Structure formats: structure tokens, C-alpha cells
Amino acid sequence: MSEVDRMLEANAAHAAAHRALPDARPRRQVAVVTCMDARIDVLGALGLGVGDAHVIRNAGGRVTEDVLRSLALSVHVLGVRAVVLVQHTRCGLEGVTDEELVERTGATLSFLPIADHDRSLAEDAAVIAAASYLGPVEEIAGLVYDVDTGALREVVLRARD
């Protein structure tokens, strides 16, 4: 059975119990930017439920052009007022270089490796703070999630105005 077949089979039970949410606006007015790492239960780790937050994921949970594109919509179309950046321990982007990742993948891309979580979270928070079109964002936080203990550590907290 293919993975997609397994998913479609599982979906039958999901759809039977599904309750539709009429409003696309996140109830907690928050967007979470985090890593695609399969070990992170984003909603569980942050005490969120379905409908509470936007969750934007990529390798490393870094603030890229595409994350900014999503946040612009989160803020101006869907009422988000806080952005929480969550990096994590033992991330695949820790302790590697762009050169190594270009060689390993064959993709000539900037992979945004992480040498230091505190520094990269501060840099990413500063990118959000500097984006004039994200002016309505009132709170920007940076957290590190420990994949071994499940605990969060607060690194950056910036209130605007």
C-alpha cells in the first residue's frame, strides 16, 4: 500500500468526525514559524488547537521570502498580530555550511544554516520587525524547542511600539 493510499484510508475516519470551522482567521491571532522536523508537534508544544494559529514550516523555521509572503497575508487578510519563531535542538541545519549542503543536495541554493539559535532567531526577528508591511505585528517572539525534553526556551521577545 502506498503512503498516499494509507492517508486516504485514514482520512475516512477523520472526515467522519470532522467539525468545520467557518472562520479562517486564527482565533489566537498568532502565526508560528517553525521547522519541518517531523519530531515537532507544533500545536501540542504551544498549547494550540486547530483554528488557533497559522503554522508556517520550512527547513530550519527560517524567515525566508516565502515566509514573509505568508505573514503579509496572515497580518493583513487574516488578523494575525503576533509572530512566534520556533527553532529546535538537533536541527538538521545546525552545524552545517551552505557549501556542504549544496554539495550534498546538488541544489545551488542558500540553505540558511544555523550556527547559533540565539543569533539566527534574533536575525529573523529583526527581519520581521524591519518589514514595513508587517507593522501591525505587535509581538515577535523567538523560542527554541528541545526535541528531547519537549521544553521551550525563550530567546527573543520584541514588542512593537
Least separation in angstroms between CB 91 and Zn ion: 3
Question: Do the beta carbons of residue 40 and residue 144 sit within 8 Å?
Answer: no
Give the residue carrying C-alpha cell 521570502: 65
* Complex with Zn ion: residue 94 or 139, whichever CB lies closer: 94
Torsion angle defined by CA atoms of residues 21, 22, 23 and 27, in that order, rounded to the nearest 10 degrees: -30
What's the CA gap between 92 and 60, in Å, rounded? Answer: 7
What's the CA gap between 30 and 52, in Å, rounded? Answer: 7
* 37 touches Zn ion by CB under 5 A: yes
* 124 touches Zn ion by CB under 5 A: no
Which range in 32-40, 126-134, 136-144, 149-157 contacts Zn ion by CB under 5 A?
32-40
Distances (CA, A) of 24 to 45, 47, 69, 160: 22, 19, 17, 25
Binder among 48, 53, 71, 91 for Zn ion (CB under 5 A): 91
* Complex with Zn ion: residue 54 or 62, whichever CB lies closer: 62
Least separation in angstroms between CB 93 and Zn ion: 6
Least separation in angstroms between CB 33 and Zn ion: 12
Residues 97, 91, 93, CA angle at the centre, nearest 5°? Answer: 20
* 85 touches Zn ion by CB under 5 A: no
Which range in 64-72, 83-91, 124-132, 145-153 contacts Zn ion by CB under 5 A?
83-91
Q: Which residues bind Zn ion (CB under 5 A)?
A: 35, 37, 91
